[in-house]
Amino acid sequence: RAEAQWGIQRLPTMDKSIMQKATASDASPTAGYLYQEISRMTTSSFDGNRQVAAYLLTRVKNKNHNVKWKVLLIIKHVALKGNPNFRRELIQNMGDIKDCLQFTGPPDPLRGDEIYKRVREAARDAIDALTASAGAIGGAALPTERRMEGIGSEPWNPGEQKETSRLAALRSAGSVALSSVKSAAAKVVGSGGPASSGQVPSTGHSG
């Protein structure tokens, strides 16, 4: 009530119902739109990003192979499409994700080791996505990084941008001035120079 009274708006955070639906223990794959919704949560606010990362790190510890598989697929997707800070959060806490590389269990009556193999493969893909260079992922995440400025680990400094712009302007002005001097010098040389215009004409007498 106080927030509404004073016009304070809370930034969007994690939608737990979406997270639960996306990482349910049933065998049905996670719907595509849920991947997009979860990625959007990480870009909505600093808290949203932290909450999504924490939730997935908790869910990946679940012993159910369906849960692990779904969580790892989500981690891969968000690492490539979501907030760059999401990658930082998970890289600092990758122990449980790496444990999934060794995930195994009793063979399934119908699918054998396949249910564990796909978890191990998804874990490898998730780790590759988390540790990929920014250039390999692409530049789409850069606007998100700028939106998170002021609350991330490397805030943007507007003074540095102004100084850079001022130096660029000075370099440009210096280049123009140098070009003008060179042009003027070329004209003088082309006309024969000052000395040639002051020469005394020959009278034809030998002296």
For 2-147, the fitting CATH number among 1.20.1250.20, 1.25.40.90, 3.40.50.300, 3.40.190.10 is 1.25.40.90
Q: Comparing C-alpha atoms, which of 77, 148, 64, 172 is closest to residue 108?
A: 64
The Cα 73–Cα 75 span in angstroms is 5
* Rounded Cα gap, residues 141 and 193, in angstroms: 59
State residue 158's pLDDT score.
Answer: 40
Amino acid at 182: K
8 pLDDT tier (thresholds 50, 70, 90) = very low
Confidence of residue 200 (pLDDT cuts 50, 70, 90): very low
Q: pLDDT for 132-183, tens place per residue?
A: 865 555 444 433 333 333 333 343 344 444 445 555 555 665 555 556 656 6
Query: Which tens digit of pLDDT belongs to each residue from 39-51?
Result: 999 999 999 999 9
Q: Among residues of the chain, what percentage have pLDDT more than 70?
A: 58
Other CB atoms within 10 A of residue 152 CB: 17
What the block records as the tokens of 42 is 């990480």
The predicted model scores a pTM of 0.62
**Chain centroid, CA 152 distance in Å:** 13
Tokens of 202: 């020959």
pLDDT score, position 77: 98
Average pLDDT, the chain: 76
Q: d(Cα 63, Cα 118) in Å, to the nearest integer?
A: 14
Quote the distance between the C-alpha of residue 196 and its chain's center: 64
Taking only the tens place, the pLDDT of each residue in 95-139 is: 999 999 999 999 999 999 999 999 999 999 999 999 986 555 544
Of 93, 31, 83, 88, the closest CA to residue 59 belongs to: 93
Facing residues of 108 across strands? Answer: 112
- What band does 84 get if pLDDT is binned at 50, 70 and 90? very high
Tell the burial category of 137 from Cβ atoms under 10 Å away from its Cβ (0-12, 13-18, 19+): middle
Measured distance CA(56)–CA(73) in Å, rounded = 11
Q: Pull the structure tokens for residue 168.
A: 């660029």
